């Protein structure tokens, strides 16, 4: 699923097409993706509104609108937003289209149909439970230490918990734990100060590098122009097959399941819980 670097890339690449333009129409092929308000109200209220800005919070995209409300999208498992000319016919799996007054149409493609949209007065009604943004300057090792303090869940699960830190999911959790040499089953509260500092550095370095590479094109992630990202070429353990070798010293990578998430790690680089 798209995580922070993928959603950030989508946001960056949509801005030039969207901001300053007006929504001239909405086509919905799958009404189930509108969470709030009713489908009829969602469509009628959107039409005619200008897009003032687009930002990302965690894995959410937030469009601020001239009518003092916010359109929020979450791509969930398999969503992507594709920029097309107004005349483009929807391809398979396109669940919604936003038509703009500049001749651009944004196609919400979502094979698995988990994507969600909201139209709300206040974006924080949807995003208020999110933890800190890991790339903002306020996210210090001390903040990470406080988020993990007294937590008796495995660190892998805590990294994927959006209320602990916003934006990290399965892929980047595996990559950051490998880079920080921390076993995914270590409990949050068991991490030393030095380990927390290593993890903090790894989170920021890996997320930034993945944004530079325009996200990881595994599964259904496409950039708005239909192109792919290349971040997955840097992956050391995530999405590797178990039995493939650790790039550091050739030990076979192992796969375990942590709270229902397939988790890849190197048993030598990431020593087990003792
Ligand atoms: Zn290794």
Tens of pLDDT, residue by residue over 75-130, are: 999 999 999 999 999 999 999 999 999 999 999 999 999 999 999 999 999 999 99
- Yes or no: say if 193 and 179 are a contact pair by the CB < 8 Å rule: no
Q: Is the pLDDT of residue 239 over 90?
A: no
Q: How far is the CA of 265 from the centre of ligand 1 (A)?
A: 8
Q: How far is the CA of 268 from the centre of ligand 1 (A)?
A: 5
More confident residue, 239 or 170: 170
- For residue 218, the model assigns a pLDDT of 85
Q: How far is the CA of 56 from the centre of ligand 1 (A)?
A: 34
> Ligand 1 (ion): which residues have CB within 5 A?
246, 248, 251, 266, 268-269
- For residue 274, the model assigns a pLDDT of 66
Beta sheet of 23-28, edge-to-edge order: 23-28, 94-100, 104-109, 80-85
Taking every pair of Cα atoms in the chain, the longest distance, rounded to a whole number of angstroms, is: 61
Q: What is the DSSP letter of 107?
A: E
Q: How far is the CA of 165 from the centre of ligand 1 (A)?
A: 26
Q: For residue 77, what are the contacts with CB-CB under 8 A and spacing of at least 6?
A: 1, 112, 114, 219, 220
From 116, 119, 84, select the one nearest 100 (Cα to Cα): 84
Q: What is the pLDDT of residues 175-207, one digit of tens each?
A: 999 999 999 999 999 999 999 999 999 999 999
| d(C-alpha 40, C-alpha 45), whole Å | 8
In this prediction, residues 47-69 reach a mean pLDDT of 98
Q: Is the pLDDT of residue 243 over 90?
A: no
Q: Phi/psi of residue 109, each to 5°?
A: -95, 135
In this prediction, residues 159-176 reach a mean pLDDT of 98
**pLDDT band at 242; cut points 50, 70, 90:** low
Q: Is the pLDDT of residue 241 over 70?
A: no
Question: Measured between alpha carbons, how far is residue 99 from residues 55, 87, 93, 120 in Å?
Answer: 19, 10, 17, 20
In this prediction, residues 27-45 reach a mean pLDDT of 97
Q: How far is the CA of 226 from the centre of ligand 1 (A)?
A: 35
pLDDT above 90 covers what percent of the chain? 93
From 158, 156, 164, 154, select the one nearest 133 (Cα to Cα): 164
- The mean pLDDT of the chain is 96
The pTM assigned to this predicted structure is: 0.96
- For residue 244, the model assigns a pLDDT of 87
- Helix %, strand %, coil % of the chain (to 5): 30, 25, 45
Q: Is the pLDDT of residue 273 over 80?
A: no
**pLDDT band at 249; cut points 50, 70, 90:** confident
**Which own/partner contact pairs does 85-90 have at CB distance under 8 Å and 24+ positions apart?**
90/27, 90/29
- Yes or no: say if 110 and 93 are a contact pair by the CB < 8 Å rule: yes
| d(C-alpha 239, C-alpha 117), whole Å | 28
- For residue 96, the model assigns a pLDDT of 98
- Yes or no: say if 46 and 26 are a contact pair by the CB < 8 Å rule: yes
In this prediction, residues 52-78 reach a mean pLDDT of 97
Residues designated as active site: 2-3, 59, 261
């Amino acid at each position: 699923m798209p995580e922070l670097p993928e959603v950030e890339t989508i946001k960056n690449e949509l801005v030039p097409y969207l901001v300053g333009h007006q929504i001239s129409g909405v086509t919905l092929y799958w009404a189930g993706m509108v969470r709030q308000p009713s489908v009829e109200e969602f469509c009628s209220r959107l039409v005619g509104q200008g897009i003032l800005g687009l930002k990302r919070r965690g894995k959410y995209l937030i469009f601020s609108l001239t009518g003092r409300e916010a359109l929020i999208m979450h791509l969930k498992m398999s969503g992507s937003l594709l920029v097309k000319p107004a005349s483009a016919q929807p391809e398979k799996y396109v669940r919604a289209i936003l038509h703009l007054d500049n001749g651009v149409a944004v196609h919400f493609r979502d094979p698995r149909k988990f994507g969600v949209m909201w139209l709300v007065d206040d974006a924080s009604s949807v995003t208020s439970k999110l933890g800190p943004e890991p790339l903002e300057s306020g996210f210090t090792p001390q903040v990470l230490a406080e988020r993990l303090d007294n937590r008796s869940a495995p660190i892998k699960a805590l990294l994927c918990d959006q209320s602990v830190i916003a934006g990290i999911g399965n892929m980047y959790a595996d990559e950051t734990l490998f880079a920080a040499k921390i076993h995914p089953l270590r409990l949050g509260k068991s991490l030393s100060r030095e380990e927390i500092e290593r993890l903090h550095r790894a989170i920021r370095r890996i997320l930034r590098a993945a944004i530079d590479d325009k996200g990881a094109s595994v599964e259904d992630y496409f950039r708005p122009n239909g192109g792919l990202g290349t971040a997955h070429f840097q992956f050391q353990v995530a999405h590797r097959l178990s039995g493939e070798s650790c790039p550091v010293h050739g030990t076979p990578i192992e796969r375990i399941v942590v709270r229902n998430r397939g988790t890849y790690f190197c048993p030598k680089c990431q020593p087990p819980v003792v």
